[in-house]
Amino acid sequence: MQDVLKKYFQFDEYETTFKKEIIAGTTNFLTMAYILGVNTIILSSAGMDFNSVFLATAISSAIACFVMGIVANAPLGLAPGMGSNSFFTFIVVKLYGYSYQEALAMVFVSGTLFLILSATGIRDKIINSIPENLKQSIGAGTGFFIALIGLVKAGIAVAHPATLITLGNFKNPTVLLAVFGLLLTIILMSRKIDAAVFFGLLITAIVGIILGRFGVEGMPKFSNEIIKVNTSLNHFGDFFYGLKSLIAKPKSIFLIFTFFFVDFFDTAGTLVAITNKIRSKTGKNYQMKKMLFSDAVGTVVGAVLGTSTVTTLTESTSGVAAGGRTGLTAITTGIWFLVASIFTPLAAIASPIEVGGMFFEPVIAPSLICVGILMATQLSSIDWHDFTAASAGFVTIMIMIVGYSIPDGIAAGFIVYVFSKLFTKNIKDITPSVWAMFVLFVLHFALK
């Protein structure tokens, strides 16, 4: 069996072994495991069934990993992205009032578009035509947006009638648990511990459960059930019902493009960064077209099963660091996602906790904040010495945060970029793709 795998995955060419690939795939899973609980909590906030979302997350992640491993022979793990799931729930459903079925339909359409562009190779051309500063600002802005959600869920930031937002009550044990989890996760990440986010979430949950057993109010609860065979896929095919109603809502086109852009830039950046890292060590190349195709398949499958955009995760760098070089790493990660599908009760520990009429999520909030920090590091790649680039990037990020809207931030950034280039006589820097998106985004604001 190992000889067959060795030949198919080209172990000798990539200078790896069966043992290394299994260890790398397991490492990948541990760094991504937190997404099973976090994604489930976020999407269930949109009115979706908890058990169904958990199973859909596990299965879609597994399938996407299998496709990446078999088709692209790349050591990359895939799962629902943190930016897309937050956009799904807090913007599309809660802010704009779409049903979760319609949101799933948007994910399906964006994934299908993604698939077509990836299969034809057009996607690479579009990626290369978008200014690097705009790509980086979209990623960084999404990170700040996710971190803001985490701060609110932790109770660290709360609404205030005079100042709009202020610090929360640090005498509240639930808030203190979230602060503990945040500091712990930051320390683990700073020490470059593999699966730091996962272990931070796990330890925070355990500490909270212990405190709850000693009578501290507002702590997560454990039902004493660990394993439960979950066969609920109640949202399978729900996207189809959403497609019907979206036809009568032309504004949804803009939201579909936002799903597309968030995944578009996130995936491209992740793939380039990780494959470059491997290339620098081994001199081996991977086929970008096949990796993009595998990523797109994951999104379409996820939408059909009932979850938000599935994407290639930056956490895959942990598997690469552990020696992963081939698709067997990705397949191993996928197998672990399937195994994890029976641990639904553990994810329920991270459910929202009501304290004084307010809901807090101290277990998952630290992970949201820390993922936001990681994404915000893209700020360093923006050319702040070029004011046209700096202004577009700044506006993108600020509108996302202040306007609590990822799509409005993207739109505002593109508009500022075009105007700044146009009136500084740098019109040659504006590519046809940027012009097309500029027109689309102007129409978006005109129709709001």
Give per-residue pLDDT as tens, 401-439.
998 888 889 889 999 999 999 888 888 888 888 898 899
Query: What per-residue confidence (pLDDT) applies to 212?
Result: 93
Whether 222 has a pLDDT exceeding 70, the answer reads yes
The pLDDT, as a whole number, for residue 281 is: 67
Q: What is the pLDDT of residues 254-273, one digit of tens each?
A: 899 889 877 876 777 677 77
Do residues 239 and 381 lie in contact, with contact meaning Cβ atoms separated by under 8 Å? no
How far apart are the C-alpha atoms of 87 and 6, rounded to whole Å? 41
Whole-angstrom distance, CA of residue 426 vs CA of residue 428: 5
pLDDT for position 448: 65
pLDDT at 205: 93
Cα–Cα distance measured from residue 260 to residue 280, given in angstroms and rounded to the nearest whole number: 30
- Answer whether residue 283 shows pLDDT above 70: no
CA dihedral for 446, 111, 86, 147, sign (positive or negative): negative
Q: How far is CA 201 from CA 141, 261, 311, in A?
A: 24, 29, 22
Of 290, 334, 305, 298, the residue nearest 111 (C-alpha): 298
- Strands 78-80 and 310-312, how do they pair? antiparallel
Distance CA 298, CA 446 (A): 34
Instruction: Check if the beta carbon of residue 90 is closer than 8 Å to that of residue 407.
Output: no
Q: What are phi and psi of 307, to 5 degrees?
A: -145, 170
Each domain of the chain, given as residue ranges in start order, spans: 2-382, 383-448
Helix and strand counts by DSSP (H, E) for the chain = 20, 6
Provide the angle, in degrees to the nearest 10, between the axes of the packed helices 173-190 and 196-213. Answer: 150
Residue 363's closest CA among 177, 213, 87?
177
Q: Which residue did the predictor score with more confidence, 58 or 121?
A: 58
pLDDT digits (tens, 9 = 90+) for 307-341: 999 999 888 888 887 888 999 999 999 999 999 99
CB 200, CB 190: distance < 8 Å: no
